[in-house]
Chain A
Amino acid sequence: MTNPEIAVLMLAIFVLSILLGFPIWITLMAMGVFFGYYAYYDAERMQTVFDNQIFDLLVNQTYSVMANDVLVAVPLFLFMGYVVERANLVDRLFVTLQIAARRIPGSMAVAALATCALFATATGIIGAVVTLMGMMAFPAMLKAKYDTSFSAGVICAGGCLGILIPPSIMLIVYAAASNVSVVRLYAGAILPGFMLAGLYMVYVIIRAMINPKIAPKVNEEEVAHITTWEITKMMITSFFPLAFLILSVLGAILFGLATPSEAASMGAIGGLVLATVYRIGNVFAGRTVVDWSTRQIGDRMSLIGCLGWGALMTILGYFIFLVGRAILFGIIGGGESVDPNLPVGPGLSIVIALVLAAAYHVTGGNLPLPKQLMPTRAAGVSMVEFAGAGAIGGIIIGTVMQIYIYIGLQVGFVDSYLTESNLWAMEIGYFVGAGAWLGFKVTDWDRLKESVYLSVRTSAMVCWLFVGSWTFSSVFSYLGGHDLIQEWVLGANLTPITFLLLAQFIIFLLGWPLEWSEIIIIFIPIFLPMLAYFGVDPLFFGILVALNLQTSFLTPPMAMAAYYLKGVAPPHVQLIEIFKGVMPFLMIVFLAMFILYQFPGIAMWLPDKVYGN
C-alpha cells in the first residue's frame, strides 16, 4: 500500500473506532502514535525502539496546544458561563421578559426565545439552558395552553443559539482549528446570530398570529395592574446586567480594546461581579440568609466599619476618575501622553480615606452624601466592616513592606529601583486589602468552587481533543491523506456552489451522531485546505458551519437538546412531539444559511468594516 492509502485506512479505522464509544481524544492520539510510528519508521537511524520522530511530534503537538494563545480564551469563557449559570438569574429573566412582551402575540414564546438566546449567549452551555428553561418556562407555557410541540421547539431551538452568537466557545475552537482570527469570526457571527434569533422570533409571532390556538393571549387582567415603572425596575435588575455583560465583552472585542483572552477575562470578572452583586442583593432582600446578615448591630458604626467605609468611598472615587479618564481620552484621543499615575502623590489617598472615615465617625453617618451610600442594615454594616478589617490588615503588611525596603536600602540587600513602589506600598496594601477581604467574605464559595471545577473539566475535554486531533492530523497529512482527499474532490470537477453544498451537507450528516466539538476539531480541518481552491473565505465558511451546527443538537439520534427537554418535561410529553416542534426551526436554520449564502455581506460586512480586509 502507498502512504496516502494508509492515510485513508487510518481515517477509516478512526471513524469506525469512534463508534465504539471510547473517549475520542484517546482514540485520536493512539491512531496518531500507531500510524505515525509506521510513517516515521526508519530502520537505519534506529538504535532503540523509541528512536522514532512520532514521539517528538506527539510532544510538540501537545505543547503547541498548551501554549496556544487562542485557546486561552476557552477556559475563561467557560468559567464566565458557569459563574453566570450558577448565579440563578434565569427565572427572573424569563418572568421579566414575559411581562415586558405581554402585548406581542405569542408573548411567552417570544420571552422564552429571548431568555434562551440571552442566557445561552452568556453561558454557552446548551444543556443547562435547555434543562433550566424546560423546568421553568416549559410548564408555564403548557399551563397557559400553549401547544406542546410549539413550546418544545421554541426552547430547544432557543437554547442552541449560544454556540452561534458570540462570545461562543465554538467560534474560538473553529479559530484555533482554522487559523482565522477570533475577533474577525466574532464580528462576522454577530449579524448572522441576531438574524437567526430574529427569524425564530418572526416565525413564532407569525405562527401565533395565524393560529392563536397554539399560543393563547395573556389574560389581560393578570398583567394590567403592572406599571411601566415596575417593568423597568425588573428589567434593570434582571435583563440589563446580563445584556450589559455580553455587550461589554463583544464591544471590547469589536472595538479592538482587547484580545479574545483579555475580553474573556473581563467577561469572567464581570460574571463574578454580577454573581456577587446578585448574591448581595439576595442577602439584602432576605432571600439568602448568611451569618453576617443576621447579626445584631448597634446605633453607631464601629471604628473598623468607618475605616472600611472611607476606604470603599475612596476606591469608588478613584475608579470613577480612572475609568472616566480612560473613556474620555478614548473619545477625544491623545491619551498616550497622559501621566499613568494617580492624580495625587503617594500617601495622600490614605489620608483622604482616613478623613472620610473620621468624618463618618464624628458625624455618626450624617454626611452630605446620598443616603444610599450609608449602610443601615446588618448586611451592609458587616460589609463595610469586612472592608475595614481588610484595610487594616493591608496597611500593616504595607508598613512592614515599607520598613523592610527602607532597611534594605540602608543595608544594601534591596536594589534602589524599588524606591518608587516603596512609596506606594502602604497605599496598595490599604486599598487592595479592603477590596480583597470584602470580596473574599461576600463570595459564595460553594458556587464558585462548582464553577471552577466544572470549567476545568470542560476545558480539559475541549483541549485534550485538540491534543489528540493535532497529533492525528499531522500524521494524516504527513502520510499524504489531505492531498489525496483534495485530489479526489478537485478531480470531481465541482463548482464552488456544489462544493459548498456538499461540504455543508456532510457536516449536517456528521451532526446527527456527533457533537459540535468533534466535528470542528476533527473533521473541519479536512475541508479547510480546499477552501482556497474554490475561493471560499474560511471566515464565511466558519459562519455557515456555525449556523449548520445548530442542527447537530436538534437532529436524532443524538439530539441532545431534545433529550434534555424530554428528561425534565412532564411525563405526558412525547419525544416525537418535541421533534415535531423542532422541525420548523430546522427549516429556519436552512433558510438562514440560504440567506447568508445569497448575501455574504451579512457575515463579511462587520469584520471588513472594523478590521479592514
Chain B
Amino acid sequence: MEKLIFTIDNLTAWVGKAFAWCIMILTLGVGYEVFVRYVMRDPTSWAFDISYMMYGALFMMAGAYALARESHVRGDVFYRLWKPKTQAKVELTLYITFFFPGVIAMILAGASYAMKSWRYMEVSVMSPANIPIFQFKTIIPLAGALLLVQGIAQVCRCIICLRSGKWPAHLEDVEEMEKVLLHQHEEATKAGEAR
C-alpha cells in the first residue's frame, strides 16, 4: 500500500512540477509584453491569452500535488489537537463523502464541457490572434482526474494511519522556509539536550 502511495505521489508531483514551470513562461511572457508595449510601443496580440492560460494551467494541474503536500488550507483549530487515529477516521469519512463526489462531478461535467469546446475547435474571444482554448478547457477534467488519483493515495494514507496510529511519511520535497527552520531548530535543541 505504501508503494501505491509513493507511486501516486510521484506521478502527481511530477505533473505538478512540470506545470509549475508555466510560471516562468508566464513571467517572461508578460515581461516581454511589458517591454514591447512600453519600451518598443508595439504590443503583442497574444500575451494576454497566454498569461491566463499559463496561470490557469499551473494552478489547476498543481491541485493534486498541493493535496499530497498538505498545502491546502484547513480550519485546523481542533484537528491538530486530535490523535492521528481520530484525524484519520474523520479524513477517511470526508474523503468518501465530500471529496470523491465533488471531484467526480468535476471530471464528468468538465469532460462534456471540454468535448463541446473540442467539437468546434473553440478559440479565445479575448484577442484577435484566434488563440485556441479547447486544450485549456481540457485541463478541468485532467486536473480532476489527477485529484481523483491523489485522493486514492490519501485514502490509503488514512487506512495506514488507522492501522498503525501514525501518519505515513511524505516524499522528500522542498518545504516552506518556516517549516525547514522550525525543523532545524527542533533538531538543534534535541542535539543540545542530548549533549
The stretch from A54-62, A200-208, A238-246, A392-400 touching chain B is: A54-62
Whether A257 and B38, one on each chain, are in contact in the complex, defined by CB atoms closer than 8 angstroms, is: yes
Residue from B27, B73, B113 in contact with A461 in the complex, judged by beta carbons closer than 8 Å = B73
B194 within 8 A of A: no
A164 within 8 A of B: no
Within 8 A of A (CB), among B5-20: 16-17, 19-20
Question: With the chains together, A288 CA to B34 CA distance in Å?
Answer: 33
Whether A76 and B26, one on each chain, are in contact in the complex, defined by CB atoms closer than 8 angstroms, is: yes
Residue from A86, A340, A568 in contact with B182 in the complex, judged by beta carbons closer than 8 Å = A568
Whether A66 and B23, one on each chain, are in contact in the complex, defined by CB atoms closer than 8 angstroms, is: no
Whether A25 and B72, one on each chain, are in contact in the complex, defined by CB atoms closer than 8 angstroms, is: yes
A50 within 8 A of B: yes
Whether A456 and B65, one on each chain, are in contact in the complex, defined by CB atoms closer than 8 angstroms, is: yes
A107 within 8 A of B: no
Whether A66 and B52, one on each chain, are in contact in the complex, defined by CB atoms closer than 8 angstroms, is: yes
A131 within 8 A of B: yes
Instruction: Say yes or no: A85-B177 contact (C-beta < 8 A), given A24-B74, A257-B38, A460-B62.
Output: yes
Residue from A24, A29, A268 in contact with B102 in the complex, judged by beta carbons closer than 8 Å = A29
Within 8 A of A (CB), among B116-142: 136-137, 139-140
Whether A59 and B30, one on each chain, are in contact in the complex, defined by CB atoms closer than 8 angstroms, is: no
Whether B55 and A59, one on each chain, are in contact in the complex, defined by CB atoms closer than 8 angstroms, is: no
For residue B94, which residue of chain A has the nearest CB? Answer: A22
Whether B109 and A56, one on each chain, are in contact in the complex, defined by CB atoms closer than 8 angstroms, is: yes
For residue A78, which residue of chain B has the nearest CB? Answer: B23
Question: With the chains together, A280 CA to B108 CA distance in Å?
Answer: 51
- Tell me which residues across on chain B come within 8 A of A264, comparing CB atoms: 30
- Contact size class for A? 35 or more
A514 within 8 A of B: yes
B171 within 8 A of A: no
A449 within 8 A of B: yes
Whether B65 and A266, one on each chain, are in contact in the complex, defined by CB atoms closer than 8 angstroms, is: no
Q: What's the nearest-Cβ distance from chain A to residue B192, in Å?
A: 9
Residue from B31, B58, B182 in contact with A265 in the complex, judged by beta carbons closer than 8 Å = B31
- Tell me which residues across on chain B come within 8 A of A476, comparing CB atoms: none
A455 within 8 A of B: yes
For residue B179, which residue of chain A has the nearest CB? Answer: A127
For residue A30, which residue of chain B has the nearest CB? Answer: B98
Instruction: Say yes or no: A326-B58 contact (C-beta < 8 A), given A127-B178, A458-B71, A513-B77.
Output: no
- Tell me which residues across on chain A come within 8 A of B40, comparing CB atoms: 322, 340-341
- Tell me which residues across on chain B come within 8 A of A517, comparing CB atoms: 73
Whether B90 and A21, one on each chain, are in contact in the complex, defined by CB atoms closer than 8 angstroms, is: yes
- Tell me which residues across on chain A come within 8 A of B173, comparing CB atoms: 453
For residue A60, which residue of chain B has the nearest CB? Answer: B113
Within 8 A of B (CB), among A19-59: 19-27, 29-34, 50, 54-56, 58-59
Residue from A26, A79, A272, A464 in contact with B98 in the complex, judged by beta carbons closer than 8 Å = A26
Over the window 50-61 of chain B, the binary record of Cβ atoms lying under 8 Å from chain A Cβ atoms (1 yes, 0 no) is: 011001101110
Residue among A22, A74, A458, A462 with the highest chain B CB neighbour number at 10 A: A22
Question: With the chains together, A513 CA to B74 CA distance in Å?
Answer: 10
B41 within 8 A of A: yes
Whether B79 and A21, one on each chain, are in contact in the complex, defined by CB atoms closer than 8 angstroms, is: yes
For residue A462, which residue of chain B has the nearest CB? Answer: B59
Over the window 133-173 of chain B, the binary record of Cβ atoms lying under 8 Å from chain A Cβ atoms (1 yes, 0 no) is: 00011011000000000000000000000000000000001
- Tell me which residues across on chain A come within 8 A of B16, comparing CB atoms: 453, 456-457, 460
Whether A460 and B27, one on each chain, are in contact in the complex, defined by CB atoms closer than 8 angstroms, is: no
Question: With the chains together, A453 CA to B68 CA distance in Å?
Answer: 13
Over the window 545-573 of chain A, the binary record of Cβ atoms lying under 8 Å from chain B Cβ atoms (1 yes, 0 no) is: 00000000000011000001001100100
Question: Which applies to chain A's interface (DSSP): helix, strand, loop or mixed?
Answer: helix
- Tell me which residues across on chain A come within 8 A of B181, comparing CB atoms: 131-132, 135, 567-568
Whether A558 and B52, one on each chain, are in contact in the complex, defined by CB atoms closer than 8 angstroms, is: no
- Tell me which residues across on chain A come within 8 A of B136, comparing CB atoms: 66-67
Whether A128 and B176, one on each chain, are in contact in the complex, defined by CB atoms closer than 8 angstroms, is: yes
Residue among A31, A68, A460, A513 with the highest chain B CB neighbour number at 10 A: A460
A338 within 8 A of B: yes
Question: With the chains together, A476 CA to B188 CA distance in Å?
Answer: 50
Over the window 318-337 of chain A, the binary record of Cβ atoms lying under 8 Å from chain B Cβ atoms (1 yes, 0 no) is: 00001100100000000110
Residue among B101, B102, B106 with the highest chain A CB neighbour number at 10 A: B102
- Tell me which residues across on chain B come within 8 A of A577, comparing CB atoms: none
Whether A568 and B185, one on each chain, are in contact in the complex, defined by CB atoms closer than 8 angstroms, is: yes
Residue from B24, B39, B75, B78 in contact with A326 in the complex, judged by beta carbons closer than 8 Å = B39
A454 within 8 A of B: yes
B42 within 8 A of A: yes
Whether B102 and A127, one on each chain, are in contact in the complex, defined by CB atoms closer than 8 angstroms, is: no
Over the window 185-197 of chain A, the binary record of Cβ atoms lying under 8 Å from chain B Cβ atoms (1 yes, 0 no) is: 0000000000000
A72 within 8 A of B: yes
Over the window 86-99 of chain B, the binary record of Cβ atoms lying under 8 Å from chain A Cβ atoms (1 yes, 0 no) is: 01001100100111
- Tell me which residues across on chain B come within 8 A of A261, comparing CB atoms: 30, 51
Q: What's the nearest-Cβ distance from chain A to residue B176, in Å?
A: 6
Q: What's the nearest-Cβ distance from chain B to residue A531, in Å?
A: 26
- Tell me which residues across on chain A come within 8 A of B76, comparing CB atoms: 21
Question: With the chains together, A21 CA to B77 CA distance in Å?
Answer: 7
- Tell me which residues across on chain B come within 8 A of A54, comparing CB atoms: 105
Q: What's the nearest-Cβ distance from chain B to residue A581, in Å?
A: 19
For residue B36, which residue of chain A has the nearest CB? Answer: A340
Whether A460 and B59, one on each chain, are in contact in the complex, defined by CB atoms closer than 8 angstroms, is: yes
A307 within 8 A of B: no
Q: What's the nearest-Cβ distance from chain A to residue B74, in Å?
A: 5
Question: With the chains together, A86 CA to B176 CA distance in Å?
Answer: 10
Q: What's the nearest-Cβ distance from chain B to residue A155, in Å?
A: 13
Question: With the chains together, A366 CA to B64 CA distance in Å?
Answer: 58
Question: With the chains together, A405 CA to B29 CA distance in Å?
Answer: 25
- Tell me which residues across on chain B come within 8 A of A567, comparing CB atoms: 178, 181-182, 185-186
A463 within 8 A of B: yes
A459 within 8 A of B: yes
Whether A265 and B74, one on each chain, are in contact in the complex, defined by CB atoms closer than 8 angstroms, is: no
Residue among B79, B110, B176 with the highest chain A CB neighbour number at 10 A: B176
A530 within 8 A of B: no
Instruction: Say yes or no: A258-B69 contact (C-beta < 8 A), given A79-B27, A265-B30, A456-B59.
Output: no
Task: Give the 10 A-B CB pairs with smallest separation, nearest first.
Answer: A21-B79, A66-B56, A127-B178, A55-B109, A30-B98, A265-B30, A456-B20, A128-B177, A23-B72, A18-B75
Q: Which of A's residues lie within 8 Å of B, judged by CB?
A: 17-27, 29-34, 50, 54-56, 58-59, 62-63, 65-69, 71-72, 74-76, 79, 85-86, 125, 127-128, 130-132, 135, 257-258, 261-262, 264-266, 268-269, 272, 322-323, 326, 335-336, 338, 340-341, 449-450, 452-465, 513-515, 517-518, 557-558, 564, 567-568, 571
* Given A340-B40, A455-B20, 20 other A-B residues pairs in contact with their CB atoms under 8 A: A18-B75, A23-B74, A25-B72, A30-B97, A30-B102, A66-B56, A66-B136, A67-B136, A125-B177, A131-B182, A268-B23, A323-B39, A452-B21, A453-B17, A453-B20, A456-B23, A456-B66, A459-B58, A463-B60, A571-B189
